[in-house]
Amino acid sequence: MSLRCTSSGNRRCPNQAIRNTRQVRISIAADELTGVAVILPVELGERGHDLRLHGALTENEPGDWALSSAAAARDVIDGVADQAIVCCWTGTGAAIAANKLPGVRAALCHDAVTAAGARRWNDANVLALSLRTTADAELAEILDAWFSTTPSEKAGDLASIARLSALERGVSAAL
């Protein structure tokens, strides 16, 4: 399901500069409608992003964490989405499921510092969140960090990402 969201204008954004970054196509998956899964589409919509919903966020897909997380990650691989955000009770299963697809670098992030590091040093393209532990205010901070941080251009960091890609292809000589 694809959803075009725009700002409702009725909510003040504490960091307007970050909230008005470029529009990103984002696939979101959750296995149940609890915790941040309820506010995540609203928060991203208010930031002006194009959303594609999976799992419990839709009426026509099963709310299974493995299937919905893989569907969102597949959207990134297929070019339908620029990034994905996957959620389950702990966030761990969602990250594991997403990481089963070649080319996906999913990172489970519990705070803004981890989210920024995942984008900067790992060029993560899928954000995994815990429905149990991620607070609403923390979600905004995590998203601010995720969307405002760009991947590192340093040679060592680029080499590490290249080694990950080689490992995906089964090339153990990369170690």
Domain CATH number, residue 75: 3.40.1400.10
pTM of the full predicted structure? Answer: 0.86
In a domain? residue 15:
no
Tens digit of pLDDT for each residue in 94-128?
999 999 999 999 999 999 999 999 999 999 999 99
pLDDT of residue 6: 33
Number of structural domains in the chain: 1
Kindly state whether residue 55 falls inside one of the protein's structural domains: yes
Q: Of 61, 19, 63, 69, nearest to 44 (Cα)?
A: 19
Q: Let me know if residue 2 belongs to a domain.
A: no
**Is residue 118 situated within a structural domain?**
yes
**20 vs 74, higher pLDDT:** 74
In a domain, 131, yes or no: yes
Asked if residue 105 lies in contact with residue 122, where contact means CB atoms within 8 angstroms, the answer is yes
Asked, for residue 34, whether it belongs to a domain, the answer is yes
- How would you classify residue 111: left for phi > 0, otherwise alpha for psi between -120 and 50, otherwise beta? beta
Look at residue 6 and tell me if it is in a domain: no
